[in-house]
Structure 1
């Protein structure tokens, strides 16, 4: 299975996470507009990436005829639901610059939690799920 698109998506999402970190370190209130734009851009990337996984990757692994790949696919898909919901709440709360300006420390706390979980998930996919799918 060709995994290039998924790897490119991950690289782009990781770049967006780094952009958010850099903007936050430079000052949340002063960079609220740019942070808001980065959050919305990241959300869009993730939405399309998740759709590709849900519509192509996971079903292909489930139909692979290999019980180990089907179980791996099922586990990753189930785990992603909780993270996707948490990320959706994060986007909804922090996509508005005025909210970032009003409570930068709450944003920093939420970002540390949600973006770290997202980062760790992407890295696990790169180490476990994508190599397995690439061998199909």
Structure 2
């Protein structure tokens, strides 16, 4: 199975996450809120395409594998992280504009940290677990 496409998508998602983290780390949200919102929206599009593709094509192929370890891991990952798009969509809807971010800065920082860590964890698990079994 060719995973290059998924790894390329991960790379683009990592780029957005790193930009969002760097902007949040500056703690100058008054100045950076519009740019943060832009990258949240950009991440949303990339994440939606990536997760939809994984759910429609990649994970079903893993589940049909003859490799029981791969099947078990795929089932485990789906149970553990299957709602990531819903969780991210809720975050995005709450903070996809400068004004929404500035309206509740403390909550934004807290939620941004949580969602970034969740996405990073999923990609790390896939890259170091599932994807390595397939390569």
Query: Could you state the TM-score of these two structures normalised by the residue count of structure 2?
Result: 0.91
The aligned counterpart of 1:119 is 120
Q: Structure 1 residue 83: deviation in Å? A: 2.7
> Deviation per CA, 1:30-49, whole angstroms, max 9, x where unpaired?
11111111001101101010
Gaps of 5+ in 1: none
> Deviation per CA, 1:12-68, whole angstroms, max 9, x where unpaired?
111101101122233112111111110011011010101111111111111112222
1:9 aligns with 2:14: no
> Deviation per CA, 1:101-134, whole angstroms, max 9, x where unpaired?
1222211111111111111111111100111122
Matched pairs, number = 134
Q: Structure 1 residue 74: deviation in Å? A: 1.5
Deviates more, 1:71-80 or 1:33-42: 71-80
1:39 aligns with 2:40: yes
Find the aligned partners of 2:99 and 2:67 in 1 and give their Cα distance.
Answer: 50
Q: CA RMSD in A?
A: 1.3
Find the aligned partners of 1:108 and 1:35 in 2 and give their Cα distance.
Answer: 11
Query: Could you state the TM-score of these two structures normalised by the residue count of structure 1?
Result: 0.91
* Shift >4 Å, 4+ stretches: none
Alignment of 1:17-96 (within 5 A): 17-26=17-26, 27-96=28-97
SS of structure 2 residue aligned to 1:30: helix
